[in-house]
Amino acid sequence: MANDPLSPTTTAESVPYWRVPKVLLDAAVRSSSLLGHDLIHRFTVERFQLFLAGYFAMYFGAGVVLSLWQYVCFLRSAWFLAIAAICTAQCLVLAVALALARRGRYQQSITLACIGNWIAVFLITFVAPNLLPAMVLAALVPVVFAQPYMRWQRGLVFAVITAGCVLALASVARFQHFAQFATPPPRWIEHAFIIIALPMNAFHILVIAWNNAAALAVSESMLAERAAEVEASRGRLVTAADEERRRLERDLHDGAQQHLVALAVLIQLARSAEQGKYQPLLTEASGLLENAIAEIRRLAHGIYPPSLVSGGLPQAVSAVAAHAPIPIQLDLKDLGRYPASIEAALYFCCSEALQNAIKHGGPGTAVTITGHADGQTLTLTISDTGRGFEPATTGTGLTNMTDRVSAIGGKLTIDTAPGEGTRVTAVVESAAQPNSDSSAKDGLSSGLMPSRN
Amino acid sequence: MAGIESAPDYPKVADERVRVWVVDDQASFRRATAATVAATEDFAMGGDCETGESAIELIPDGSAGIVLMDIHMPGMGGIEATRRIRAAHPDLIVLLTSTYDVEDLPLEVADCGAEAYLHKEDLSPELLSRIWRTTH
């Protein structure tokens, strides 16, 4: 997207002048259309040129043609000729502005149109003070149109100049008597002009304002849609990554580890069967194999803990806590089963926070992990009594935790200060899923169960 | 898919040796089990199967002995297979096996009727004997 909103890269399509009567209607409908005319489209060439062409048509029709027609048909007053001359000059200015716009020089174009307009309305009011109300409204039109396209400083300057212009219009209409130089037109022509021009100009301004607001509303809703899309795709990415981790874990378990385990059994058999010269070699091979199996198990567990699948957060977090080298107090009674993406995100947060406490907490650090669920919200708090850190110095680990929780629509808060310990709180909207009783496994015969730590 | 394979791999024995079945989708562990059983005096292979489904189908009625049942297999899996085998053959002792730590096992291992959990790495002739003695 262009940095300068008034510099679209596409070349201007010229607008045929016979379309000019459709200008306001087109401009009004287009940018509020749901067919993709959002804020970005408002900056496109077409709308800008339509506005200028329409504005040109107004000056040309109401200022030049109407005045000359009145001069020819009703009254040969210099008053009409003066207005026609001023409007012709403004038409020329607008024509130049249109040409500038077609060359893509939008800032100059709008500036020229505004300056020309300020001068034109001032001169018309000078010549015909009775037209003040219509001219005040006409003074506002280009600036109202251009405001959304300008940087705010420039917009402010233009607004102040316009206010000054209106002040000048009022003063000149009130205090100058120069207009007496020509025969004034009949009162009814003045009345008719004011009565028609006033509501038309007011309507013009209102349409522009409504049009800008409608375009803004459309672009807001499109932005919201895009934000929702981005959020959904982030969630899908995280889920896909989790699934990939799970698959890797299964591959390690079902592939390499299975063969190694079978090999271990066979080597064990060979060791017990033959008391020969190869015994030391077999013993060494057995030791290496045990290490390899332990390493693969550790690796697979780190990639995706199987207990997260089988027993959810309470089981997986308890397993991590059981192997941690620092004291950990658990309170996870409240927790049930949740969608896999939520369980994975919270588990990895928990394990990351725990790793941080172990690595950076210092001697004597203790950790408390608390899970709380109230049917709608799931809150997991990991607090340690370690050294804490300056909250501004967040490392990648903490950023990953924050991203992971926010990808599932949750919020992570890190509460810490040097010497104060660290408290990481993850809050996720989620209702628990029904699951089986988690204490059932204790019933399995343990007498024969080899312990494996 | 391998069904229960009798001769020539596992010759039928007329004596009172205890039959061992192994149900596992990994050929390497089936092979290791056969070697372990062959190293014993008291046990003989009853057969091996790749899936829980084929085990249910092929273990003969009235069988007694030990079944080494892998927990994670394609299809119904070891836990459901254990449940059905125990229902059909009450005299069979089913040992669940896998390479996972105890705390990583699914919760259902506790109530499927399995006698114990055996980590595959720990399979040995002595362990088979110990299990058989403990359960009889």
The reply to whether A393 falls in a domain is yes
Domain residue ranges in chain B: 18-135
The Cα–Cα gap between A10 and A126 comes to 41
**What is the model's pLDDT at position A20?**
52
Which residues of B fall below an 8 Å CB-CB distance to A? 26, 28-29, 31-33, 35-36, 39, 72, 95, 99-111, 114-125, 130-131, 134
Backbone angles phi, psi at A335, to 5 degrees: -80, 140
User: Hey, is A256 helix, strand or coil?
Assistant: helix
Q: pLDDT tens digits, residue range A201-219?
A: 898 888 888 877 877 787 7
Q: Are the beta carbons of A348 and A245 closer than 8 angstroms? A: no
Which helix (DSSP H) or strand (DSSP E) does residue A70 occupy?
helix A66-73
H-run or E-run covering A321: helix A306-323
Q: Which runs of consecutive H residues, i.e. helices, occur in A103-186?
A: 106-127, 132-146, 152-175
Q: Please tell me the distance from the alpha carbon of residue B95 to that of residue B74, in angstroms, as a whole number.
A: 18
Do A87 and A205 lie in one domain? The reply is yes
Answer whether A262 sits within 8 Å of B119, measured CB to CB: no
B31, B37, B121, best to mutate vs chain A, most A CBs in 10 Å: B121
Give dist(CA B119, CA B99) in Å, integer: 6
Q: What is the ipTM of this complex?
A: 0.83
* Length of chain A as a residue count: 453
Which residues face A400 on adjacent strands?
Answer: none
CA–CA gap between residue B103 and residue A314 (Å, rounded) = 11
Two structure tokens written together for A206: 């209102």
Q: State the Cα–Cα distance between residues A105 and A367, nearest whole angstrom.
A: 64
Q: At B96, list the tokens.
A: 């669940």
Nearest CA in chain A to B123: A265
Distance CA A40, CA A34 (A): 13
Residue A296 lies inside a defined structural domain of this protein: no
Helices A279-303, A187-252: inter-axial angle, 10-degree rounding:
160
Quote the pLDDT of residue A146: 83
Going by their DSSP bridges, the two strands A422-429 and A377-384 should be labelled as antiparallel
Of A182, A206, A230, the one marking the end of a domain is A230
Q: Which residue of A has its CA nearest to B29?
A: A262
- Residue B71 CA to residue B101 CA, distance in Å, equals 12
**How many distinct structural domains can be found in chain A?**
2
Cis peptide leading into A280, omega within 30 of 0? no
Lookup: tokens for B125: 């002739």
The Cβ of residue B36 has, within 10 Å, a number of other Cβ atoms equal to 24
Q: What are the tokens at A197?
A: 């021009």
SS3 A59: helix
AA letter at A161: I
The whole-number pLDDT of residue B120 equals 92
Residues of chain A contacting B101 with CB distance shorter than 8 Å? 297, 319, 452-453
> Cα distance from B48 to chain A (closest Cα, Å)?
15
Among candidates A265, A309, A443 on the partner chain, residue whose Cβ is nearest the Cβ of B36: A265
Please enumerate in sequence order all residues whose Cβ is within 8 A of that of B52, keeping only pairs 6 or more positions apart, or say none.
B23, B69, B73, B75, B76, B77, B78, B80, B81, B84
The answer to whether B79 and B73 are in contact (CB under 8 A) is no
Residue-wise DSSP of B34-62: HHHHHT-SSEEEEEEESSHHHHHHHSPTT
Give the DSSP per-residue string, A278-299. THHHHHHHHHHHHHHHHHHHHH
Burial of A179 (0-12, 13-18, 19+ CB in 10 A): middle
Find the residue in B nearest to A441 (Cα).
B110
b/e sequence B75-107, b meaning 16+ C-beta within 10 Å? ebbbbbbbbbbbeebeebbbbbbbbbbbbbbbb
Q: Are A121 and A90 in contact (CB under 8 A)?
A: no
B115 with A448: Cβ contact below 8 A: yes
Q: Is beta strand B43-49 parallel, antiparallel or unpaired with respect to B65-70? A: unpaired
Q: Are A224 and A332 members of one domain?
A: no
Task: Please check whether residue A85 is in contact with residue A98, taking contact to mean a CB–CB distance below 8 angstroms.
Answer: no
Dihedral over Cα of A83, A89, A95, A98: its sign: negative
Phi then psi for A381, rounded to 5 degrees? Answer: -120, 130
Q: What tokens does B57 get?
A: 């189908």
| Cβ–Cβ < 8 Å for A6, A42 | no
Cα dihedral angle (A299, A303, A309, A313), rounded to 10 degrees?
Answer: 100
- Name the residue facing B39 among A257, A264, A273 (closest C-beta): A273
Q: Which stretches in chain A have pLDDT values below 50?
A: 1-13, 24, 28, 31-43, 436-453
Which value, in Å, is the radius of gyration of the alpha carbons in chain B?
A: 13
As a whole number of angstroms, the distance between CA A354 and CA A329 comes to 12
Instruction: Assess A450–B contact: CB distance below 8 Å, yes or no.
Output: yes
Which residues of chain B register pLDDT less than 70? 1-15
The rounded distance, in Å, linking the Cα atoms of B28 and B39 is 17
Task: Report the candidate in B5, B3, B7, B12 with the shortest Cα–Cα distance to residue B44.
Answer: B12
Tokens of A143: 């600036």
Backbone torsions φ then ψ of B27, nearest 5 degrees = -60, -35
Which of the listed residues A197, A230, A263 is the one where a domain comes to its end?
A230
pLDDT score of A333: 86
Helix, strand, or coil (residue A331): strand
pLDDT of residue A434: 57
Q: What is the pLDDT of residue A368?
A: 94
CB–CB contact A444 B109 (8 Å)? yes
Which residues constitute the domain of residue A363? 310-433
Q: Tokens 């499927």 correspond to what residue? A: B112
> How, if at all, do strands A411-416 and B18-23 pair?
unpaired
Tell me which CATH code domain B18-135 carries: 3.40.50.2300
Q: Which tens digit of pLDDT belongs to each residue from A183-198?
A: 667 778 778 888 888 8
Say which of B35, B104, B130 has its CB closest to residue A305: B104
Of A213, A230, A247, the domain-final residue:
A230
Least CB-CB distance to B29: which of A258, A269, A273?
A: A258
Angle between helix A306-323 and helix A340-360 axes, rounded to 10 deg: 20
What the block records as the tokens of A339 is: 């969608």
